[in-house]
Structure 1
Amino acid sequence: MSVSQRKIALVKELYKEGIDEFARLINSSECKSHTDVDIRVRRRDHISHFVLRSVVAFNVLKKRWFFKQETRLFKWRFSSLNNEGIKQFMRINDFDFTPISQGQKEDIKEYLQMSSSHVSNIDSMQFYRVPFSHVTSLIKKRKVFVMHGEAFVPEGEIAFMFVPYFKRILISSFEAARENRAKLYNDERFTRIFANLENNIHIESTILVQDQEVQQYVSLNQLDKLSETSYPLCMRVLHKALRKNHHLTHGGRIQYCLFLKGIGISLSDVMILWKNEFTKIMDETTFNKEHSYQVRFAFGQEGSRRDYQPYTCLKIMESIVGPRDYHGCPFKHMLQDILEDELTNCGFNALGKCVLDINLYTRTM
C-alpha cells in the first residue's frame, strides 16, 4: 500500500471516529493557515506534539514508537501538498531545490523513464536535481536516476528529500523535551497529564516482540556473512578491519558500534564482540579499563544516557579521518585504488563510470 493509499485509509477512519479536525489537517494542501479554524487546528496539533514528545522523552521504547509515528505522519501530510504548498514549504524551511528545465529533461529523458517506470507521464512531471546523499532510500529502491553524484527526483517522491531533515530535527529535539519535562517535575498540572498519557500508550509488548524477532535474525555468528551480503560498504570496511587488526580507532568504534545497535545487536553481544577481538592484542583488564565504558556509553548506559542513533550517511561523510582510520565514507575518504579493490571484492568486477563519478563528487563535498 502506497503512502497516499495509507493516508486515505487513515483520513477515512478519522472522520468515522469524529476526529474531523485532525483529518482536515492531514488533507491540507498548503503550508499556510488562512482561516480561524486552520489556525486553531494547527495550534492544537503543535501542542499535542510537544506534550507527547515530553511524555515519551524518558522511555526508549515509547520514544522509538513516537519517532516512527511522527515520521509516518510527516510523509502523509507532505503527500497532500499541491505544487504551491511544496514551494511554500521549501521557502519557509530555506530549501533551495529547483526543478530541472525542460531542455535538461529532454537530454536525459530516456534515463528518467527507465528509473521512473512508476511515473505515467514523464513530460508533465517535474524533476528536482539534488545531491544523491539526500535520497539514499530512493536510490536503494532504484526509483531515481543518478548522474555525476546527483539524483533526479520526480515530484511524486519529493517527500523523501525532506524526511532525513525531519528525522534529524526530531531526534535532536528529544534532549530539549527531557529538560522541559524535568523543569515541570513539581508542577502537578503537567505531571498528572504526563502520567496519564504515558500509562495509556501501550506499545511495549509490540516493540519487544519486534526486537526479539530482530535479535533472533541478527546474531554475532551471522555478522561475517551479513557484512559480505548486506552491509553498506562503509560498515563492511570497518568489520573487515576489526577482524583483521582486532582493533579500531575511536571514530571507527563509535561508527560501527552504533550501526550494530541500530540493526538490533544487544549491548551484551556487542560487548562480547569487542572483547573477543580486542583481547587478542591486549589483556582483559586493559580492555575493561579503556574501552568497555565507550561501548556502554554508545548504548545509553553511561554518561548522559542518551539514546544515540546510528550515523547518517551525511555524518559519516563529514567524519574526520586519519591515516590509521577505517571509518568515514569510502567513496569520499578512501584512496582510489583501494576503493576499486574493495568494490571488486564486493562483486563489481568492472567499475562503471557512475561509481567513479560519485566518488569524485563526494570528495568535493
Structure 2
Amino acid sequence: MNSISGAANRKGGALEVDNYNGLYKHRLNFYQQAPLLEVSLEEFESWAIDRLKILAEIEASQVRNRPFNDTKAVIKSQSAKLLSLSTNYTRTATLEAERKKDHVSHYVLRLAFCRSEELRRRFVKAETTLFRIRFDDATTAEKNAFLHSMKSSQSSKVDWEEVDDVEKESLRPFLISSNPGIAIKPAEFEKELYYKVKWTQVPELVERRRVFLKQGYAYVPMREQTSLILNSFSSQLQQALEFTAKALPRLDEDSRLLPVLSHLSLSFLAGLSSEAFDPASFNSDRKISAESIDMLAKKHFPMCMRSLHDRLQNTHHLKHFGRLQYTLFLKGIGLSVDEAIVFWRKSYGANISDDKFNKEYRYNIRHSFGLEGGRKSYPPRSCQKIITQDQPGPQDNHGCPFRHFSLDHLVPSLRATYGITDTNDLNEITGAVKAQHFHVACTRVFEITHANKGVRKGDGLGGGESVNHPNRYFERSLELSGEAQAEPMTVDGA
C-alpha cells in the first residue's frame, strides 16, 4: 500500500500530498491510494485530531470491554460530530468534502503512528475497528460495489479467488459440513458464494472451524466475508505502516510537520485525543468565589485537582508546577484573578509573609491570567498535557494520579477521597491503569461517584464520552448536580 510521499513539498504555505485519485466513489476505503491535494497546515492538524478523538474512543471502549454494538453506537455518535461519512444515497453537498477529510486524516495519522511497533499495533487495531463499524453499517449494495471495485482494481492487493460452480459442486459435502453450527439448506448452498484464500488470511475462522481447508487454502462463504475483509484491511495497513516508517526520514527537512506528528503520537500513546481547552465549551459567565473552592473540590473535582487541593489545604504549600496546574484549572471553572489571589493567600496562611507572597506568588498568578509578562492568557491543561508534560519528581504533587501514583498509593487514595471500596470497582480502575489507559480509569471513577445521579457504567460523561480534560469533568459533574445554570451565576460558600 502506498504511503504519503513528497509530503514536504511546499507551495504557498500549504501542504502538498501526492497521488490523489480524484472522486471518492465509495464510502468504504482501504486507503490504498495516498491523497494528492493541497491542504492547509491547520487542516492537516485539525482533521487528524478529529480522527484521533474517534480512535481514542475506540481504544477506551476496548479497554472497558464494551460489547461491539455499544461501541458501535458510541463511535457512530462521535463520528457524526467529528468525522461524518455519508452514503452515496444521501447526495449531500458535503459528501466529497467528508471523504476528503477521512482520506487525508487517515494518512496524517499513518505518518504519526508508523514510528514504533507499539504505535503501529494500536493504530491498526483501532483503524480496523473503525472500518468494521462502517462496513457493518453499510448496505448490501454498498458492500458488493466496494468489494467489486477492490477485486477489479489494479492497485488492490486483494487476492480472493471466487470458487466456480464446478469446484463448488465437487466440494459440496465438505463445504456444507465445514460449519456444523449452521444447517445449510440445498437452496441456500446454491446461492452462497465462496472465496478461496490462503488460510493465513483468516486464522480466526480456521481456529473456530468455520471454513473448509484444502491444500493450504480456506474456502470462505460470503456470510463470513467480514472476517476476510477485516483481516485483509489490517494486514495491508500493517505493511503500509512499515513501508511508511522507512520513508519517514525524508520528512526531516520540513520543520512544520514533525512537531505536529510528534504531538499526535504522544497523544495516542497517552490514550487520548489531542484537545485544547475551548473556552466556548465552558460557562465563562460563572463567577466562583475563593470561599467556595473547598466545597466544590469535595463534590466536583477530578482526582488530579482534588489531590492538589487536599495537599494545599494540609501543607499550605504547592511547588511550581502544582501551583500552575491548579491555578489554570481554577481559572477555567470561573475563579477571577482577584479571587485567585485571595484563595492562594489564604491557603498559604502563616507559612509566608504578605511581603513574600506579593513578591513571589502574586506575579505568577497574574501571569497565568495574562496580566503580566507577555500577557498571554494560558488555558487550563488538558489530560493529555498533564500526563505527558512536566513529569513530577518525588516531592511534586502535580500530574495525573492514575499515571503518576503507585497502585499502593492510588487505591488508598480512591478509598479515602471518593469512598470507592467495592473490590470489583477498584479492580476495574487499577486494570485500566495497568493497561496505561489512565483516562479510562478516571472515567470509571466519574461513573461510580455519580451513580446516584443516574450515571451508569459505560455512560462516561454522557453518551459514552471519556474524560479528556479536568475542566470538562468539573462542568459535567456540576451539571448533573443541578447547580449549573445557563444564566450567569455566582457560586459562594453558602
Q: Normalising by structure 1, what TM-score? A: 0.50
Q: Normalising by structure 2, what TM-score? A: 0.38
